[in-house]
Each structure stands twice: as structure tokens, then as C-alpha cells.
Chain A
Amino acid sequence: NAGVMQNPRHLVRRRGQEARLRCSPVKGHSHVYWYRQLPEEGLKFMVYLQKENIIDESGMPKERFSAEFPKEGPSILRIQQVVRGDSAAYFCASSPTASSGNTIYFGEGSWLTVV
């Protein structure tokens, strides 16, 4: 994984608390994707962002979830009032452009556990 940094790697939250997951893409990459992987399941698309813009958030739950990719700083996936069903691995990926020929690099994931 060529440089996509996610933190924290592991996060434990009580029901009702907020979880903030951060993703720093590969240097120079302006496209960021967030995916969620539930236990024993495949990766599911959540949101696709470019700098300061949300391009496609069709995979995001309508409530409690939000994402941003500011001009400066990492992309943030924010989950408010977490519930047990939010427990999953959240992966961030980045690419230099949306061009189909580019390799998309994944981070190592952030594991959220809601207790």
C-alpha cells in the first residue's frame, strides 16, 4: 500500500458516541474513496470525494454518516451516535485522477468496534 495512511487503526466507541476516521491519501492524489467491510463480507462503496467536493455519496447511510476532504488536511469519515451495527473495517483508497488506468491504493483500514 503505497502511502495511504489511515488512523486510528483501531477504535473502540460506546453506543451513542462519535467516531472520526482519518485518511491521508498518497501525496499528490486528489481522489479519495471510502469503503466499509463488515465481518465475513466484501468491501462496500460508501463515498467518493475530490478535494473539497463530494462526487458520489450514494453508498453512505442517510443519517449519522458524513465525509469530507478539505483543501488542506486528511479526509475525514465521521459517524455520529454510533450503534453496534457500525462495527466494521473502514478502508480508504486514493488515486491521482478518476482515470480508469490508474492504480488505486488502499490504506490498511480502521477497525471500529462499538461496545
Chain B
Amino acid sequence: KNQVEQSPQSLIILEGKNCTLQCNYTVSPFSNLRWYKQDTGRGPVSLTIMTFSENTKSNGRYTATLDADTKQSSLHITASQLSDSASYICVVISDRGSTLGRLYFGRGTQLTVWP
């Protein structure tokens, strides 16, 4: 069964601190993995896209890693800001055969940054 599991479910950190969010998946065939940020009441916004051959990709204070062998990804946020408070969603895409165009979503990690 194609699944995407995220941990922790929720996380509270102090402003300026770093944190790491985890994503494990069983989606097959795998095409690429994406991290999205979803503010409350808004649609998801793309942070990174990682293909099978990419191990690390950065977007400002966000750094995503991917281990395609163990089917794990992480999103590291450095020097957190209050505006980082949001749900971070791991999405795995399988775009071949019967799963063409399918996105598999994790349930998200709800991050709260306190001043």
C-alpha cells in the first residue's frame, strides 16, 4: 500500500532554534518527493522538489534530504522564525503506469514557533 508517514505529528520550538521533520514513504514506483508548507486556512506552497538522484536540496533556511534506499526524507529548518509556524507536508509522487499523476500526502507536521 502506498503510504507517507510523517513525524512528529506536532512540534513546538523557540524562535531562532533549528528543527528537523521526518518523512518515511512506501510509495512505488517513486518519482520524486516534495515538501510543502501550509499556513492555516491557506493552500500548500511548494518548498522543495527532490528526484531519485538528489540527496540534498536547500531553499533558504530550509534543507531537505532524501535517502531513496531507505525511503526516508527530512526537512531541516534553521534559525526558525515566527512565520515558520505552519503545517509541513511531505508529498511523494508516483507518475507511471496506473498511478500516473498521483500525489501521496503525509498528514503533516504542525510546527509552532514561540517567541
> What is the bound-complex CA distance between A104 and B104, given in angstroms?
13
Does A91 interact with chain B (Cβ within 8 Å)? yes
Closest to A106 in B: B43
Q: Pick from B45, B95, B99, B101: contact of A1, CB below 8 A.
A: B45
Query: B78 in the interface, Cβ–Cβ < 8 Å?
Result: no
CA separation between A57 and B104, bound complex, in Å? 14
Whether A72 sits at the interface, judged by CB under 8 Å, is no
How many chain-A residues does the 8 Å CB contact rule pick out?
Answer: 26
Query: Which A residues from 40 to 56 make CB contacts under 8 A with B?
Result: 41-45, 48, 55-56
Tell me how many residue pairs across A and B have CB atoms closer than 8 Å.
Answer: 63
Question: In the assembled complex, which residues on chain B have CB atoms less than 8 Å from the CB atom of A93?
Answer: 103
Q: How many residues of B contact A (CB 8 A)?
A: 25
Q: Tell me how far the C-beta of A9 lies from the nearest C-beta in chain B, rounded to whole angstroms.
A: 9
Chain A residues in 8 Å Cβ range of B51: 100-101
Q: In the complex where A99-B95, A100-B93 touch, is A56 in contact with B100 (Cβ < 8 A)? A: yes
Query: B42 interface residue, CB < 8 Å from A?
Result: yes
A residues near B44, Cβ cutoff 8 Å: 43, 91, 106
Query: Could you say which of A1, A45, A106, A107 contacts B102, with CB atoms under 8 Å apart?
Result: A45
Q: Given the known inter-chain contacts A43-B89, A55-B100, A103-B49, please indicate yes or no for A109 contacting B42, CB distance below 8 A.
A: yes
Of B99, B101, B106, the contact of A31 (CB 8 Å cutoff): B101
- Enumerate chain B interface residues (CB-CB to A < 8 A): 31-32, 34, 36, 41-46, 49, 51, 89, 93, 95, 99-108
**27 pairs from A and B in contact (CB 8 Å cutoff):** A1-B45, A4-B43, A41-B107, A42-B106, A42-B108, A43-B89, A44-B105, A45-B102, A45-B105, A48-B100, A56-B102, A91-B44, A93-B103, A98-B100, A98-B101, A100-B31, A100-B32, A100-B95, A101-B49, A103-B46, A103-B49, A104-B46, A104-B103, A106-B45, A107-B43, A109-B42, A109-B43
Q: Which residues of A contact B (CB under 8 A)?
A: 1, 4, 31, 33, 35, 41-45, 48, 55-56, 91, 93, 98-101, 103-109
